[in-house]
Amino acid sequence: MKIRIGIIGAGRIGKIHADNLLRLAQAEVVAVSDLYAGPELEVWAADRGISTVTKNSDDIIARPDIDAVFICSSTDTHVPLIKQAARAGKHIFCEKPVSMDIAQTEEAVEAVRQAGVKLQIGFNRRFDHNFKRVREHVQAGTIGDLHIVKITSRDPNPPHEDYIKVSGGIFMDMMIHDFDMARFLSGSEVEEVYAQGNVLVDPVFAKYGDVDTAVVTLRFANGALGVIDNSRQAVYGYDQRVEVFGSKGSVAVANDHPNTAVVSTAEGIVSDKPLHFFLERYNDAYIEETQMFIDSLAKGAPLPVEGNDGLQAERIALAAKLSSRLKRPVKLSEIHELSKA
């Protein structure tokens, strides 16, 4: 039996998920909704055998023959759509973040729990071949007791101003992936965050109270420490590196490149730049996260990343935003009180 899927939001990421689902024998994409659906989307859907295109997400959630929805619409729509889909008994895949308000995310996670449906969050980096290998070594005890987690994430180019003003800021939009990765690699919850940021790439970020360059230190419940650095612009390409250091050694992964050729001459040693951006770098990870979601529905396997993972990453992101504003470390136990101040 195939899992019948409806896609809500047919922008870039929605189309990626649809194409990846179409690769899977156990999945069938039967409907797509988008507020701006028109002839172009209808042609795109017809080329893929997707029978229904609509502007109204209600048309998808109300269909009794749809088993699960992929929520790929704007962040402000995620919580109401999750609640609506949960009430309708649909399983849910939702892009990150669930919301930019922890209370709303908690409501969404609780709605899913009460409805007894599944919710997977789109933290695709957990499925990257490099980062999975790091986690395997940490879990196997290869590097002993965990001491330091270091994560570097730098984009090749800053986003457009239209995106910046609605992004939620670098900690909630960009670094949230790294906060999830810190939990994923360490196997421990974050207890304290200290964040510093500045505008060093483009003054447009300051216009919206954001920064484009940031460093965050983390203190984990197991005593380990974490360091994350982000930049909105690395002129040499998409920079995605991780190192985990422990009592018996370390495990590190470098950037992926289009090829491994290194040219050595009298003028210098040269290799290609890293893969250009997230679609290229994490293409296989997007495919695998989709496969594992469908496997969970078809075979009853546990979800690899659930609603609570989205909630915890958002809690760390909020602590980072508060820390940057208050210019001091912030414990996660403080964030509910501080966010009211």
| 290 Cβ contact list (under 8 Å, min separation 6) | 17, 20, 21, 24, 27, 93
pLDDT of 271 above 90: no
- Residue 191, both tokens: 């207890």
SS3 184: helix
At residue 258 the predicted structure's pLDDT band, cuts being 50, 70 and 90, is confident
Render pLDDT for 47-88 as a digit per residue (tens, 0 to 9). 999 999 999 999 999 999 999 999 999 999 999 999 999 999
State percent of the chain over pLDDT 70.
Answer: 99
Q: What's residue 337's pLDDT?
A: 79
pLDDT of 201 above 80: yes
pLDDT of 195 above 80: yes
pLDDT of 279 above 80: no
Q: What's residue 297's pLDDT?
A: 96
Q: Which fold has domain 3-117?
A: Rossmann fold (3.40.50)
Q: What's residue 243's pLDDT?
A: 98
Q: List helix spans (H) across the chain.
A: 12-21, 39-47, 58-61, 78-87, 102-115, 129-140, 161-164, 170-173, 176-186, 204-207, 278-281, 283-299, 307-326, 335-340
pLDDT of 277 above 80: no
pLDDT of 89 above 80: yes
Q: What's residue 340's pLDDT?
A: 67
pLDDT of 181 above 90: yes
Domain extents in the chain: 3-117, 126-277+312-340
pLDDT of 341 above 90: no
Q: What's residue 338's pLDDT?
A: 78
pLDDT of 32 above 70: yes
| 308 Cβ contact list (under 8 Å, min separation 6) | 109
pLDDT of 273 above 90: no
Q: Are 31 and 66 in contact, with CB atoms under 8 Å apart?
A: yes
Q: What's residue 276's pLDDT?
A: 78
Q: What's residue 336's pLDDT?
A: 80
Please tell me the pTM assigned to this model. 0.93
Q: What is the mean pLDDT of the chain?
A: 95
Architecture of the domain spanning 126-277+312-340: 2-Layer Sandwich (3.30)
The mean per-residue pLDDT over the stretch 119-148 comes to 96
At residue 302 the predicted structure's pLDDT band, cuts being 50, 70 and 90, is very high
173: left (phi over 0), alpha (psi -120 to 50) or beta: alpha
State percent of the chain over pLDDT 90.
Answer: 89
Q: Are 190 and 180 in contact, with CB atoms under 8 Å apart?
A: no
Instruction: State residue 273 phi and psi, 5-degree precision.
Output: -65, 160
Q: What's residue 95's pLDDT?
A: 96
One-letter amino acid at 321 equals: K
Q: How many residues does the chain have?
A: 341
At residue 34 the predicted structure's pLDDT band, cuts being 50, 70 and 90, is very high
Q: What's residue 161's pLDDT?
A: 96
pLDDT of 240 above 70: yes
The mean per-residue pLDDT over the stretch 317-323 comes to 97
Q: Which residue has the higher pLDDT, 265 or 341?
A: 265
Residue 124 Cα distances to 41, 130, 319, angstroms: 25, 12, 23
The pairing of strands 68-71 and 3-8 is parallel
pLDDT of 219 above 70: yes
The mean per-residue pLDDT over the stretch 285-294 comes to 96
| H or E element in which residue 262 lies | strand 262-265
The mean per-residue pLDDT over the stretch 31-53 comes to 96
pLDDT of 127 above 80: yes
The sheet with strand 239-246 has its strands ordered as 249-253, 239-246, 146-154, 225-231, 213-220, 190-198, 330-331
pLDDT of 214 above 90: yes
